[in-house]
Structure 1
């Protein structure tokens, strides 16, 4: 309620100041414009403490942009008061401020839409293509009629396409939001007013005029003050945080949109030429230059996403979801490959079959969640016992298997088994308690002609013999067969 009240008061005061602006003396307008353009600094700076530190970059860019624009407006006000003309340096400084404002909008889109990159690129491409068509049909002929220079037209077109693209990205954020965000909608209004203001400057030839039409100043004032209203609302903090995840699918409709976006500007130019109208080469040149990289990024992003999905599926198919270790199927594949190695080329592989002692008691006492955590910790400790090139896998339940593919002499195998017993003899912290378990290990060295099933069966038998020896009080819970 307090946030809405503050925002409402700010909006009312901003509207009053904007409406009263044309009634001011012409000589007083630059000073009032300067003060009004600096007003959003207060709510933006006030939003910083409420925003988590990792998400403040967009706000700092807005603060920088407003400060730079304020400095440019101050220089302009002083220049107009002393010389009766605008300062070229001030105009350059204001332009830098507008670039920073664009960067802040891009940063906001990056933060809020980082889990919806594909959708944001699609909307940006569509928006740029739409603005390009409007430019070719309506805006460029009007600029020609007022005698705008080619360089000025190109600069304005780049600004308009950039603002249109960012506005399209913000529309995508609005569509994907689970609940309405007033700050986002106000930010969209800011960009829309910026587009109208820049077009108004071009169409009226007021870029360097000392006193611009009052309505143009009102448009820019509204954009600054609306930005302050967005920052004063509590939804600004939500807007600066990551948005909901979106499933990225490049459907046929998406492909149609991307194809139309790529071809629309050249098609419009061709239609104009057929109709005998003057064709502006800037439209297809700049429009296509802006769209093609975005489409390439879109395709590259989708390809990378598909590759990540394929890798994830492959990992899920070959690894145990609980411990992250290779599963039984993957282990059998590696074991078969090791047994199929050329005889005499390396030492025969050794298989260690490990079974936990006391795991069922832990599971019954603490529950399956704690039991799963125990298995995860066991897997981590066993992994630290291996040599480079050895394979550890969860075979099933509380059973783990280790493949030592080569150079595993009886002495080496004995040391590995001892490391396993020492690693698992230390207590495990589970559910706030220290839990101790044991392990029984059976080790088998492969012989010529032995397949995967045979060596696993023998290792399993050796493990059960080690378990009986352990129950009888034997010091070591393993047997090398």
Structure 2
């Protein structure tokens, strides 16, 4: 077998692995997300088949853009759709903190992506309009896939081997596409070179993720939805937030052109997202404070005021009585054999008594 045929067969095996793993590990109602990922893989392989065999199919040299590019680009919405469905199945839509964190990283990385990958195509006047739009579409689609993967990565839920393999495949795909875009801009890309190994690795990782039994957990609702702001996550958010100003400073220092509109919009978006994240932390801290104050003055099981709150209220009542001269009384009520009720009918029944 020649190299293109072998490459396409390996890619097709990834599609087969995803379908087989999905049918083996998931019930019918939870398979759609993985089927979309498999469809994206299949579209990418179909694009390869057309690109490698275009002269044989159509009797002409492969143009740009071509039907192969349409198939390549169609794979990205399918993969994004699969990731979005997984996010919904895991219940991450309620995790607002995780959404903000993923958006902060996406905006930071997206600014770098725009300046060094997308903008050169936008500014290239030698390209025809179809070629320019197609060239821009590839990195834009890569960024959408990365954004969906980030949302899945920072959310709660099971994080077994399938989770790591799936994200590893997406990261490998994004990194390979990034290198490919750089080589395309410099004119150094050659089909069939070592870079193709990156796509093969992405295929293998996605197929392995579907075949691993832990992929069941990816389709299950996450327990403990709220995202924790760990030290590692805080460092990652800080680095992402500084990407936009660092790019602006670097290009200014090097005397390179600066897209003020994009940098400005990205900076405003980052400021708003960081402010929203801080507001969420303040609300969470206030809610925790109210909960701790309530727990300090109420019984955990029954929710009734405890001895500490009773003493506080008595002291307050005595102070008011001394100031006003009014009489003060304390009513003590004792229920005979109440312990038996509490022991035999459980706490809710006893509390209602």
**SS of equivalent to 1:24:** helix
Deviations, residues 313-349 of structure 1 (Å, cap 9, x unaligned): 2322343212123446657888989xx9xxxxxxxxx
Are 1:311 and 2:293 matched, yes or no?
A: no
Would you say the 8 A contact 1:125–1:165 is kept in 2?
no
Number of residue equivalences? 326
Are 1:228 and 2:207 matched, yes or no?
A: yes
Counterparts of 2:207 and 2:166 in 1: how far apart (Å)?
9
CA gap of 1:277–1:124, structure 2 versus 1, over 3 A, is same
The equivalences for 1:156-175 within 5 A come to 156-165=138-147
Structure 1 runs of 4+ with >6 Å offset: 29-32, 144-150, 243-247, 253-257, 331-337
User: Larger RCO: Structure 1 or Structure 2 (Cα < 8 Å, ≥ 6 residues apart)?
Assistant: 2
1:3 alignment counterpart: none
Would you say the 8 A contact 2:83–2:149 is kept in 1?
no
Counterparts of 2:346 and 2:170 in 1: how far apart (Å)?
55
Counterparts of 1:91 and 1:247 in 2: how far apart (Å)?
34
CA gap of 1:317–1:187, structure 2 versus 1, over 3 A, is same
The equivalences for 1:343-354 within 5 A come to 354=333
Are 1:45 and 2:26 matched, yes or no?
A: no
Q: Which has the higher helix share?
A: 2
1:95 alignment counterpart: 76
2:67 alignment counterpart: 86
1:459 alignment counterpart: none
Deviations, residues 90-136 of structure 1 (Å, cap 9, x unaligned): 4564332132144256458765x988x75785577457535744764
- Alignment gaps of 5+ in structure 1: 1-19, 207-211, 341-350, 364-369, 383-481
Would you say the 8 A contact 1:128–1:161 is kept in 2?
no
1:321 alignment counterpart: 300
CA gap of 1:254–1:318, structure 2 versus 1, over 3 A, is same
CA gap of 1:182–1:99, structure 2 versus 1, over 3 A, is closer
Say what the alpha-carbon RMSD is for the aligned residues.
5.3
Q: Which has the higher strand share?
A: 1
Counterparts of 2:47 and 2:109 in 1: how far apart (Å)?
37
Structure 1 position 145, deviation (Å): 8.2
Structure 1 position 276, deviation (Å): 1.3
The equivalences for 1:32-181 within 5 A come to 33=11, 36-49=14-27, 56=30, 60-67=32-39, 70=42, 83=58, 86=67, 90=71, 93-104=74-85, 106-107=87-88, 118=97, 122=101, 125-126=104-105, 129=108, 132-133=111-112, 136=115, 139=117, 155-165=137-147, 181=160
Structure 1 position 48, deviation (Å): 0.7
